[in-house]
Amino acid sequence: MQQEVIIVGGGMVGLSLSLMLAKQNIAVKLLEAIKYPNYDDANLAPYHSSFDARNSALSRRSVQIYQELGLWDSLQEHATPILQVHITEQGSFGKARLKAEQEKVESFGQVIENAWLGRVLLTQVQKEKNIELIDGVKVTSLTQTENEANIEAERDGEKLSLTAKLVIAADGRDSFCRKALGVGASVHDYDQVAIVTTVQTSKPHDHVGFERFSHLGPLALLPLPGEYRRSVVWPVKKGTEDEWLGDENDQHFLDALQETYGDRAGKFEKTGKRFCFPLSQVLAEKQAVGRVVLMGNAAHTIHPVAGQGFNLCMRDAYVLVRYLTEQLAKSEDIGEPSMLLDYEKSRLTDQQRVIKFCDSVVRGFSNQNPILKLIRNTGLLAFDLIPGIKPLVANYAMGLKA
């Protein structure tokens, strides 16, 4: 008999995970609170709450996972490789550079707009016979017994009762399922919001990704499809976002980018609509409770400074599927609590390393103390000059050493 999994949360992690499970002949019921958009126009990718204006820098490991799923050709049409990474601090001497050619890799990863990533994933999910997609559904209860997990939900006034051997909660930073399980979470508010948009520059991006630490916040400028299009992710102090949003502030925003980046990208000519997202770190105290596993932002929400959040979630999902596949091969229960605890334990080293790194970068570069600025800029120089450091960091950033 085919064993079934319920996934709560149909964002990019939930969709990706459902496709990994379906490939292993595991039946999936995928529940999403928000109605998905209709894709009537082949050239458009409408925003959804889970596929919004943000972009994802897919690590080499994430790209490999999508290749295994047979999805990369469709995703590649909307993605752009990162061939170089430049890290600098405004008004300081330190700099570090990584080149894919020197590290003997095709690229460090690929940048894709979340709206397109979501569209490709959703289109594939809708074709999968092993996935039942239920959107516009509100989960109202999560309980479990020794042998099964139970979901109560509502959809268009109709009550639903669902049962499975395993529930995977990928329902976001404010996860209902996490709270229903009684699992606490540590929360750190960075007192920042991320300003996100797309810009056009006079110089081609040449597949270079920039990370520029400024007094306003760590500014990431990444290449997008189209020779002169770049994505901007700029965390700024909470409460200052109105200064950067709205059509009337277009030129002010472009001028600030120009001042921060100088002429590395040429002239910042046009900007799209800006969106803002609050930034905080949310870490669940447990990730496996009985027959329920927390996944994605429900398990760990981290700062986007190094673009590692989604890639970490993809590695979590991939390892969980491996554990479930091994259970199937032995004809054993895929919701076995002890096995799920083993999965959680296996992921802690990778998770803690990424979480600590991202948090340290944010805190370290936010401090404008002159002595600390000297130390970190000396560190950037050392990174650029000392043999052996670059390959180690490059492999780590690509998710190949996790």
Digit-coded pLDDT (tens) for 285-317: 999 999 999 999 999 999 887 678 899 999 999
355 within some domain: yes
106 within some domain: yes
Question: How many C-beta atoms lie closer than 10 Å to residue 189's C-beta?
Answer: 11
- Higher pLDDT: 339 or 390? It is 339
Question: How large is the average pLDDT for residues 379-392?
Answer: 46
Residue type, 9: G
Local confidence band at 102 (pLDDT 50, 70, 90 cut-offs):
confident
CA 304 to chain centre: 8
Which residues make beta-bridge pairs with 55? 113
271 within some domain: yes
Residue type, 65: I
- Two structure tokens written together for 106: 């095709």
Residue 390 has pLDDT above 80, yes or no: no
Strand order in the sheet with 109-113: 55-59, 109-113, 79-82
Question: Count of alpha carbons within 13 Å of 73, Cβ hemisphere only?
Answer: 1
402 within some domain: no
Residue 48 has pLDDT above 80, yes or no: no
364 within some domain: yes
97 within some domain: yes
Domain count, the chain: 1
Residue 146 has pLDDT above 80, yes or no: yes
CATH number at residue 217: 3.50.50.60
Digit-coded pLDDT (tens) for 153-192: 999 999 999 999 999 999 999 999 999 999 999 999 989 9
pLDDT at 379: 46
pLDDT at 50: 73
Helix orientation angle between 309-329 and 12-23, rounded to the nearest 10 degrees: 30
- Could you identify the residue written with the tokens 């979480």? 355
Question: How large is the average pLDDT for residues 133-141?
Answer: 96
Digit-coded pLDDT (tens) for 113-122: 999 999 999 9
- Two structure tokens written together for 8: 């709560």
Contact 39, 46 (CB under 8 A): yes
* Enclosing domain of residue 160: 4-397
354 within some domain: yes
Backbone angles phi, psi at 285, to 5 degrees: -70, -25
Beta strand 149-155 pairing with 185-201: unpaired
- Could you identify the residue written with the tokens 């940048």? 111
